[in-house]
Amino acid sequence: MQEEFISISISHFEELLQLEKFFEYSQDLLCIATFDGFFKKINPAVSKVLGYSEEELYANRIMKFVHPEDVENTVLFRVGMITGYSLYNHENRYITKSGEIVWLSWTSIPIESNKCVFAIAKVITDKKKIEQERNALLDSISVVNQELKHFTRISSHDLRSPVNNILSIFDLLDISKITDPDTLELINLLKSTTHQLHQTLETYINELIRKDNEFKQPKNELNLEIELKSVVETISSLVMKSHTEIVVDFSAFKIIRFNKVFLDSILLNLITNAIKYASPDRHPLIHIKTSIKDNSRQLIIADNGLGIDLEKVKGKIFGLNQTFHRHVDSKGLGLYLVKTHINAMGGEIEVESEVGKGTTFIISFKD
């Protein structure tokens, strides 16, 4: 009986020894943590990855090593574990002793009877870098795709005008005076080909519009103060150099549902236009405010610049390639993009202007 007991004890000791070796040599981070947030036992991989000695790791709360931006979320999950919930594939960032950021993926199981948590973590820093590179690539592809779509719209629009002009010339042409049959046949062929080109352009433009309607741009909850601050920061040198003053009043409302890229583009275009076409007699002054009128939420951007003769332009202000002042940077695309972005979001834009006094743009949002 005694020999059997000794045999069992030796066998149990060997199993414990194997477990200890597994704990010691594992490349994953293995740890036992107390409910009050301290490491109780760790394997060498924890010290190796984080760069701290075992004494430093045992002496400090675990949250000291967690990335500040992940502390709040990590605390919430730890509270959940204390109440009995296991944690699977929880990702957060730790900061090593050298200041590097390490991404870890945790599986943690609470043991209520011992008031502790058994946890395993895998280092996924390389995986996160690949994900970030992939997301950056997807964002870049998306931008390029949008630029290509925009270029296609512009090209189609630009081609449509000269084609229409050619068709108008054909309508004015008196072919009854042409006696040479070969010349007459050539003119008819050119006319037929031009009609086909016109039809192709119309079909192509209609297809672009149809696809745009199918794939609506996403809307997000946006804070106008934050978005305006971000835009102004990108052109801070221009604002300072031109001595531009921007007066803001978002007391009516600050939050809108809109596409972030579109909103930033609208603000950027209207602000830079106000600076570009400033009156030589005074520094640019731009008023940006929100208003609610007839149950419609409006963003109003007004400047004290050169102004536009609206009677003279006769509704062409938002047209492509339309310019109303002589300026080296005038391309006739800014206001066209502004209206395109607003229309894509289901909104509307109006303009009020007086030569020599300034221009006001009123954007109405559709929630």
Range in 62-76, 122-136, 296-310, 328-342 the model is least confident about: 328-342
Place of tokens 């199981």: 109
pLDDT level of residue 167 (50, 70, 90 thresholds): confident
How far is it, in rounded angstroms, from Cα 311 to Cα 281? Answer: 24
Examine the pLDDT at 296 and tell me if it is beyond 50: yes
Residue type, 26: S
For residue range 148-165, list pLDDT tens digits in order: 666 666 666 556 656 766
DSSP letters, 141-152, are: HHHHHHHHHHHH
Rg, C-alpha atoms of the chain:
34
Contact present, 58 and 38 (Cβ < 8 Å): yes
Strands 255-258, 296-303: parallel, antiparallel or unpaired by DSSP?
unpaired
> Does 276 or 7 have the greater pLDDT score?
276
Q: Do domains 2-123 and 220-365 have the same CATH topology?
A: no
- What pLDDT does 157 receive? 57
What are 123's strand-pairing partners?
104
Range in 86-90, 121-125, 147-151 the model is least confident about: 147-151
- What pLDDT does 217 receive? 65
- What pLDDT does 7 receive? 46
Q: Which residues of 190-219 are buried (b: 16+ CB within 10 A; e: fewer)?
A: ebeebeeebeebeebbeeeeeeeeeeeeeb
Angle, CA 93 vertex, CA 90 and CA 96 arms, to 5°: 140
Average pLDDT over residues 293-308: 90
> Residues with Cβ < 8 Å from 225, sequence gap 6 or more?
248, 250, 254
Assigned token pair, 263? 């909103």
Average pLDDT over residues 71-93: 86
Does the domain spanning 2-123 belong to CATH 3.30.450.20? yes
Does the pTM surpass 0.85? The reply is no
- What pLDDT does 104 receive? 93
For residue range 326-352, list pLDDT tens digits in order: 443 444 467 877 888 888 788 899 999
**Nearest one of 346, 345, 349, 318 to 332, comparing CA atoms:** 318
Helix ranges (H only) for the chain are: 2-25, 44-50, 54-59, 68-82, 125-172, 181-214, 224-234, 236-241, 260-276, 310-313, 334-344
- What pLDDT does 186 receive? 83
Examine the pLDDT at 51 and tell me if it is beyond 70: yes
How far is it, in rounded angstroms, from Cα 132 to Cα 40? Answer: 34
Contact present, 181 and 153 (Cβ < 8 Å): no
Second CATH level (architecture) for the domain 220-365: 2-Layer Sandwich (3.30)
Examine the pLDDT at 106 and tell me if it is beyond 70: yes
CA distances from 119 to 19, 71, 84, 332 (A): 15, 17, 14, 61
Domain ranges of the chain: 2-123, 129-214, 220-365
